[in-house]
Amino acid sequence: MTHPIKHKFQPEMLVPWCAISGNIEFMQDKSGVIETSDGVLCSAIKYKEIHILSKEAYDIVQELYKMQVLQFMRKWYEQIPRMSEMWFVYLKLEKIKEDVATPADPTPLSTSDN
C-alpha cells in the first residue's frame, strides 16, 4: 500500500500522524511505500513515535528544521487546520529504486539510535 505524506522528501522527517494517508494501516503494518508531497517514493527504514513536547522532539525539530517547536507546530497547523495531534512520527526514509517492488519492514528506533 502507498501512503501519501504531506512533506517533501528528506532522509529524516518529523510529521504528525494525520499527515500520513492511511496512517492506521501504516501504524499497524509499519510497511508499505511512502510517497512524499514532491512525488518521491520511499520506504521507512526506521520510525519512532515522539510526543511533540518532549525534549527529543525539541532536539529533532532544531536539528532538521532549524526552528522552535511552536513555529514547527504552526507550520503544520497551516497545512492541517484540524490537527489536534501531539504525537508525531519520526521517520528515516530511503528512496526506492525503480526495480524494487516492496520495501522491507522498518526497524523501530531505540533511544540509543539518536
- Paired with 16 in beta bridges are 88
Whats the size of the chain, residue-wise?
114
Structural domain including 64 reads 2-113
What is the value of pTM for the model shown? Answer: 0.80
Overall domain count for the chain: 1
Q: Per-residue b/e over 8-37, b at no fewer than 16 CB within 10 Å? A: ebeeebbbbbbbbebbeebeeeebbbbbbe
pLDDT by residue for the chain (114 residues), tens digit each? 889 999 999 999 999 999 998 888 888 776 678 999 999 999 989 989 999 999 999 999 999 999 999 999 999 999 999 888 899 999 999 999 765 455 555 555 554 454
Per-residue pLDDT, 83 = 87
CA distance 6 to 14: 11
Strand (E) positions, the chain? 2-4, 12-16, 33-35, 41-51, 87-95, 107-108
